[in-house]
Amino acid sequence: MSVKPMAARAVPDLIVEPSAFYPPFSGVGYYTRELLKAYNGLPDHYPIKLLSYRFFLKSWRTPELEYFASQARSLGGSLAVHSRLVPSLVYHQLRRHALRPPIPLDLFKPEKPSLYFFPNYVGEPLLRSPYVPVIFDFGFLRYPRTLGEKDHLYLKRYVPRTLKRASHVVVISDCIKKELHRAYAFPLEKITVVHPAVDHASFRPGLPLEERAAALARYGLDRGYIFSLSTLEPRKNFPRLIEAYSLLPDSLKRQRPLVIAGGQGWKNQDIFATIRRLGLEARIKFLGYISEADRAPLMQEAALFVLPSLYEGFGMPVLEAMACGTPVVTSARGALPEVGGEAVVYTDPLDVESICRGIRSVLENPGLSERLSAAGVTRAATFQWSTSARVLADIFKKAAHNQD
C-alpha cells in the first residue's frame, strides 16, 4: 500500500501595514524598517509585501504609491496593493476622527495564505488572517494628556480590539510586556520582546573627522555641547531639562550650550515659554528634525547626551548615544534602565535639581565621563538587529503555523 506524501505547507506572504513608513520617520519608523531589513536577510524569511491602497477613481501611479513602492524595495520586498471602494478623502477623514475603515482587508479569501504585521500598534480589521501587532508603549493609558486627543482616542479604542484576535504580540521591552499583561490581562506566553538596536556601522566611536565636521558646519555648532534628541512633546520632559540647565554655573553654560534636535511634535508651548522665562534664548539651540545621516555625527560630537523622559517604552536615542561613546544622563523611568543598564547616570525626571546634578556629575568629572563612554559602547553592542530579526522570525512562524 503506497503512502500518499503530505502536501508542502504554502509559504505565506508577510503583509506589512504601512503607517510606520509615513515621513518624517519617527522611532516607530526606524524600528520597523531596520528590523524588517534584518528579517529579510534571514534565509527562511517570508516574502515581504508592504500594504498600500488604490482608492476609487484614482490611477495606479499616485505619488503615495510610488513612495511606498520605494520603501518596499528598500526592505527587499514588493507592494501589496489593496483597492478601496471609497475616495481617499473619506478614508483620511475617518482617520482624523480616530476611526478606521470598518471593511475587513481579507473580506474575500486570498489566493495565497497571508500573515499580517501591524508595526504601529493597530491595523485594519481582518476576518480570518493571522496578524502580529507591535506595542511600543502605553502612554495613551498612563499619560493620556501628553498625546493629541485624536491619537489618544484612536489607540484607546482600537488597541483592545487588535489584541482580541492577535496571534501574538511584539513589544519592545520587558517593561512594556509587563504593562501589557497588567493593562489587558493578555497572556504572557503570547507576548515576546523584540528589542530595538542600532546600525553599529553608523553609530560607533571614531566616525571620520570630515563627516563629523560637516555635520557641525551644517547646523552652525562647535563640538562639546549638551545634546538631546527627541520629538518635542510632553513626555520628553524638555521644560524640566531646560530648568535644570538654567541651574548650571554660568561658566559651564557658556562652555556647554544646550542643543535640542527633533520634530515639532505637539503640546510643546511650555518648552519655548520656559526658555523665555529663564532668559536662555542665547544658550539653547533648536535644530528641528535632523536627517538620519546627521544623527550619529551629532551624537558623537556632544560632550553629553541627556534624555530625562517621564516615560519611555525603550529609548532609542539613549542606545544610539551609547553606541557612539557619548556619556548619557537619563531618567530611571519606564524601560530606560533596561536600555542603559549600569552604563548611564540616572536622575529623577520630576526633580529639576536631580537632573542638574546628573549633568554636572558628568561634565565636571572627566574620569566618570570616560568610564560611561566605554561602558556605553559595550552595553550598546548587546543590542543587534540580527538577533531581534531571528526572534521576530520565530514569532511569525508560530503565528502562521497556528492558523493551519
pLDDT at site 364: 97
Q: What is the mean pLDDT of residues 42-59?
A: 84
pTM (whole model) above 0.85: yes
Pick the range with the lowest mean pLDDT from 57-61, 304-308, 378-382, 396-400: 57-61
pLDDT at site 6: 44
Q: Is residue 141 part of a domain?
A: yes
Binning pLDDT at 50, 70 and 90, where does residue 400 land? Answer: very high
CATH number for position 173: 3.40.50
**Same domain for 169 and 224?**
no
Domain assignment of residue 92, given as a range = 13-197+385-401
Whether the pLDDT of residue 1 is over 60: the answer is no
Q: Is residue 4 part of a domain?
A: no
Angular region, 57: left φ>0, alpha ψ -120 to 50, beta rest: left
Tell me: the pLDDT tens digits for 57-74? Answer: 566 677 888 899 999 999
Q: Which of 164, 45, 196, 193 is nearest to 115 (CA)?
A: 45
**Domains contained in the chain, number:** 2
**Same domain for 176 and 234?**
no
Q: Is residue 186 part of a domain?
A: yes
pLDDT at site 113: 87
**Same domain for 170 and 220?**
no
**Same domain for 289 and 359?**
yes
**Same domain for 242 and 165?**
no
pLDDT at site 7: 46
Proportion of the chain in helix, strand, coil states, percent, rounded to 5: 45, 15, 40
**Same domain for 279 and 323?**
yes
Q: Is residue 76 part of a domain?
A: yes
Distances (CA, A) of 256 to 133, 207, 273, 285: 42, 22, 21, 11
